[in-house]
Chains A and B, each alone.
Chain A
């Protein structure tokens, strides 16, 4: 497998979104990712919408993996897991606190089997504190972390981001970078370690610029429609043809270029708007002047004028537009995944390009358990032993414990 993590192997207990997506990213970077599901399969299999009967998020979240099924409540299969773990560098899990220990795969146990393992647990609020162990998913974290409080019309009520799983993927990126930090540390120390990532921590990190604003000023941010709190003019303007253009002036040279480009050269020497802090302070007055100007011509006119002078601008595109957009396709920002069981499915591409260790094309998800036999045999476990019924006598203690 190509990529900078070629040679790394992952025992991926990640399910649903946060854990599964992190495993996908490690696989995209070249690691051999073994997705371990219980007999019921990943909960996201049943999410809607579905394609060929399987949740589309399962299909994209589990790209680049070989999926195996192990019933970790069965001691023989648990032993098989231990055998695999000896050959793995990384373990990911995103169960509620306490659950992975009950499956016999807590960090202490796993580290005894393989001290080099870099073990990352992801959960909503951690096991500590008054909300320790609190069950949550993306919208709860959106609400709790203040992410929702930042969105909405000016003076309007805060609103949820209606697309599901946005925070999840950001948290996955911290799982990924946490694991990479652990792998680098392992090169220095020779041993692995335990890492914990919380959705709360990830959600707040995503909001670092707004959080920093609050921590310094003590002023609670409120929704600002399309406007930026930190730079101006940086918002949407309504054009003559009833379309909106996104304009983002983020430094002084862009401001100097904008004014003549929109036919208002005198604005550049207006003291109210001379610097970014002034423009933000006087945003209402600035917004009125610019809104009156932008509505006199169609979007395309402004797009040309602003692009010519290097002022950031853009259209509001729909998902349906993007799948045919040459910029998305040429940058492989949208890719078509081939899968053996679910047909073809679109997905976002990867954020990075590496030049010496180029990444392989994303491999579509396989079926749950598709690689159980192959993976177990690869690591010296005979999957046939699971099928034999427990022998009475010697194993009866184990059996009775299992059914308790």
Chain B
């Protein structure tokens, strides 16, 4: 079973955060109707495209149906109203002005349907000097200080290559909606859930704010990161690695030092306590990186990792995606699945991060073409053929 079966979701989102959230709802069995403007979700044009299909759109929109409707003009209100009336969950990122104009704001919908769970996703939130301001992944990473954990002081700021603001927000919006649905099951009452990408990133950075409040000493990674140099891990003959010795037994650490030709460091105070100060996230990693790297220089990452593991430590290469997805652990955890796509044939998609003992695996219906389900949805909404034709001729729908 899928626990959200029977729940009708009206999806008024585009891009990454909202669609990721509604995909998670669809994966859990909800029936998601994706409302797109006439020229489609702008993510359909996000690079890279293969045979006209956007990889990003493909990865964020499975298990949904699409209706393409004019969101600028005034004639779509009635259709949207009928759509909203049968939904018990609404997810939107259009903003209060647009939803009000379309008659799809929370106040309007909840009046007829108090059970509705209505989730609004914004970039910067709805209060404060930047209320309603538009954002983007980089803008949000910049504003929330993420950039300072990368690059070098006084050098150009760079970003995390993953879309962390968007995807974390989509995941948290999903959690918020689930919590509201859970509450509704017990109480019969719906509600509005507001979430912003700004607030999501700030909450994720709690440790940073805690660290600078009033620390006893200025020590620890979450204080030193800004002045620290770029961190490339430890270079070996072929690839860089990351490793820790887990504060293991000193004999094991000493054996490792000897095996690496580093016996002169065996009684050095910095290498005590399982070398905790100079491996992993230790305080003096930077100063002693060259010591390890000189020893690793003539050994492959495989050899070095093996030696570290023999010493009871943990190590990994800094994998690129080819290495990640060739690794057998991916298959063991079913993290890549195959989906049939009408144009692209069999494509690979990322699986879910959870495994449940009593909820089945998510379905894998390919993302819809733009307006793929417009006709069917309008028929479900009890519009006649002539009415649907008229909408099409007037460019109200596609």
Q: Answer whether A and B are interacting partners.
A: yes
Interface string of A200-229 (1 = CB under 8 A from B): 111011111111111111011111111111
Task: Give chain A's interface residue range (CB within 8 Å of chain B).
Answer: 35 or more
Q: Which of B157-195 contact A (CB under 8 A)?
A: 157-164, 166-169, 171-176, 178-183, 185-186, 189-195
Whether A330 is near chain B, meaning CB under 8 Å from some CB there, is: yes
**With A59-B210, A159-B231 known to touch, is A221 a contact of B47 (CB < 8 Å)?**
no
Whether B266 is near chain A, meaning CB under 8 Å from some CB there, is: no
For residue B208, which residues in chain A have a CB less than 8 angstroms away from its CB?
Answer: 163, 319
Give Cα A258–Cα B129 distance, bound, in whole angstroms.
22
Q: Are B138 and A164 in contact (CB under 8 A)?
A: no
For residue A151, which residues in chain B have a CB less than 8 angstroms away from its CB?
Answer: 150, 158-161
From A33-41, A64-72, A133-141, the one touching the partner chain is A133-141
Please report the total number of B residues contacting A with Cβ < 8 Å: 156
Indicate which residue in A176, A195, A206, A357 contacts B355 across the interface (CB closer than 8 Å).
Answer: A195
Question: In the assembled complex, how far is the CB of residue A323 from the closest CB belonging to chain B, in whole angstroms?
Answer: 7
Whether B378 is near chain A, meaning CB under 8 Å from some CB there, is: no
Whether B140 is near chain A, meaning CB under 8 Å from some CB there, is: yes
Whether B78 is near chain A, meaning CB under 8 Å from some CB there, is: no
Q: Are A164 and B329 in contact (CB under 8 A)?
A: no
Whether A264 is near chain B, meaning CB under 8 Å from some CB there, is: no
Q: Report whether over half of chain A's contact residues are helix, strand or loop; otherwise say mixed.
A: mixed
Q: Are B47 and A276 in contact (CB under 8 A)?
A: yes
Question: In the assembled complex, how far is the CB of residue B242 from the closest CB belonging to chain A, in whole angstroms?
Answer: 4
Q: Are A351 and B195 in contact (CB under 8 A)?
A: yes
Give Cα A226–Cα B182 distance, bound, in whole angstroms.
40
Question: In the assembled complex, how far is the CB of residue A212 from the closest CB belonging to chain B, in whole angstroms?
Answer: 3
Q: Are A174 and B354 in contact (CB under 8 A)?
A: yes
For residue A126, which residues in chain B have a CB less than 8 angstroms away from its CB?
Answer: 332-333, 355
**With A180-B179, A213-B56 known to touch, is A166 a contact of B216 (CB < 8 Å)?**
no
Q: Are A248 and B138 in contact (CB under 8 A)?
A: yes
Q: Are A353 and B194 in contact (CB under 8 A)?
A: yes
Q: Are A183 and B319 in contact (CB under 8 A)?
A: no
Give Cα A128–Cα B332 distance, bound, in whole angstroms.
6
Interface string of A163-187 (1 = CB under 8 A from B): 1111001110110111011111101
Whether A355 is near chain B, meaning CB under 8 Å from some CB there, is: yes
For residue A135, which residues in chain B have a CB less than 8 angstroms away from its CB?
Answer: 246, 314
For residue B356, which residues in chain A have a CB less than 8 angstroms away from its CB?
Answer: 178, 181-182, 185, 193-195
Give Cα A204–Cα B222 distance, bound, in whole angstroms.
23
Whether B294 is near chain A, meaning CB under 8 Å from some CB there, is: no
Q: Are A248 and B137 in contact (CB under 8 A)?
A: yes
Q: Report whether over half of chain B's contact residues are helix, strand or loop; otherwise say mixed.
A: mixed
Give Cα A202–Cα B164 distance, bound, in whole angstroms.
12
For residue B350, which residues in chain A have a CB less than 8 angstroms away from its CB?
Answer: 204-205, 208, 211-212, 215
Q: Are A313 and B139 in contact (CB under 8 A)?
A: yes
Whether A373 is near chain B, meaning CB under 8 Å from some CB there, is: no
Q: Are B232 and A158 in contact (CB under 8 A)?
A: yes
Q: Are B56 and A164 in contact (CB under 8 A)?
A: no
Q: Which of B101-152 contact A (CB under 8 A)?
A: 123-125, 127-130, 133-151
**With A146-B324, A159-B232, A174-B171 known to touch, is A48 a contact of B159 (CB < 8 Å)?**
no
Whether A307 is near chain B, meaning CB under 8 Å from some CB there, is: yes
Indicate which residue in B135, B159, B213, B230 contacts A226 across the interface (CB closer than 8 Å).
Answer: B159
Indicate which residue in B213, B232, B336 contacts A51 across the interface (CB closer than 8 Å).
Answer: B213
Question: In the assembled complex, how far is the CB of residue B135 from the closest CB belonging to chain A, in whole angstroms?
Answer: 5
Q: Which of B1-60 contact A (CB under 8 A)?
A: 1, 3-4, 15-16, 20, 24, 28, 39, 42, 45-50, 53, 55-56, 58-60
Give Cα A49–Cα B217 distance, bound, in whole angstroms.
7
Give Cα A196–Cα B174 distance, bound, in whole angstroms.
18
Interface string of B322-357 (1 = CB under 8 A from A): 111100110111011000000010011111111111
**With A129-B328, A165-B207, A220-B321 known to touch, is A230 a contact of B214 (CB < 8 Å)?**
no
For residue B20, which residues in chain A have a CB less than 8 angstroms away from its CB?
Answer: 208
For residue A169, which residues in chain B have a CB less than 8 angstroms away from its CB?
Answer: 204, 206
For residue A57, which residues in chain B have a CB less than 8 angstroms away from its CB?
Answer: 207, 210, 222
Whether A397 is near chain B, meaning CB under 8 Å from some CB there, is: no
Indicate which residue in B56, B147, B205, B218 contacts A209 across the interface (CB closer than 8 Å).
Answer: B56
Give Cα A245–Cα B16 distance, bound, in whole angstroms.
22
Whether B371 is near chain A, meaning CB under 8 Å from some CB there, is: no
From A265-273, A342-350, A387-395, the one touching the partner chain is A342-350
Q: Are A307 and B207 in contact (CB under 8 A)?
A: no
Q: Are A351 and B200 in contact (CB under 8 A)?
A: yes
**With A140-B244, A145-B324, A314-B142 known to touch, is A356 a contact of B191 (CB < 8 Å)?**
yes
Indicate which residue in A29, A213, A346 contacts B55 across the interface (CB closer than 8 Å).
Answer: A213
Q: Are B1 and A226 in contact (CB under 8 A)?
A: no
Q: Are A202 and B332 in contact (CB under 8 A)?
A: no
For residue B161, which residues in chain A have a CB less than 8 angstroms away from its CB?
Answer: 149-151, 210, 221, 223-224, 229
For residue A211, which residues in chain B have a CB less than 8 angstroms away from its CB?
Answer: 59, 321, 350
Nearest opposing residue in chain B for A235, CB measure? B138
**With A4-B183, A129-B328, A215-B349 known to touch, is A200 a contact of B192 (CB < 8 Å)?**
no
**With A153-B151, A180-B175 known to touch, is A209 a contact of B167 (CB < 8 Å)?**
yes
Return the 5 tightest CB-CB contacts between A and B, nearest first.
Answer: A248-B136, A150-B161, A129-B332, A212-B59, A201-B353
Show 9 A/B contacts (Cβ-Cβ < 8 Å), sorted by A: A48-B283, A143-B318, A152-B150, A161-B149, A212-B349, A220-B321, A236-B158, A317-B145, A348-B209
